[in-house]
Amino acid sequence: SQKIEQNSEALNIQEGKTATLTCNYTNYSPAYLQWYRQDPGRGPVFLLLIRENEKEKRKERLKVTFDTTLKQSLFHITASQPADSATYLCAYGTNAGKSTFGDGTTLTVKP
């Protein structure tokens, strides 16, 4: 069955640096990968989606890449701020609309 893994449970970085989060998947290739942000006690908030035929997507300080050869997606936050501290979830999706989430990486940006 499809499996999705986020390498780090936690990531601590200094304010102003670039945070890089990793998402790896196994077995068949998903139609798309999504990245969400979740704050404690709240529902996930959609950030970016990248399709299997796209290499890179950007939105403001966020960038996501999709490497189907490595079966990996990287999520970057440039010029990170303490307000970026949250849990970031990677999810793979099928064209049937089913999404499966990774365990998440909790990012802490220190001032």
Q: Is residue 73 part of the contact set for another protein (CB under 8 A)?
A: no
Q: Smallest distance from the beta carbon of 54 to another protein, in angstroms?
A: 11
Which residues in 23-52 contact another protein (CB under 8 A)? 31-32, 34, 36, 41-46, 49, 51
| Residue 15, C-beta contacts closer than 8 angstroms, at least 6 positions apart | 80, 81, 82, 109, 110, 111
Q: Is the distance from CB of 21 to CB of 75 less than 8 angstroms?
A: yes
For residue 35 the two structure tokens come to 């990245």
Q: Which residues bind another protein (CB under 8 A)?
A: 31-32, 34, 36, 41-46, 49, 51, 89, 93, 96-104
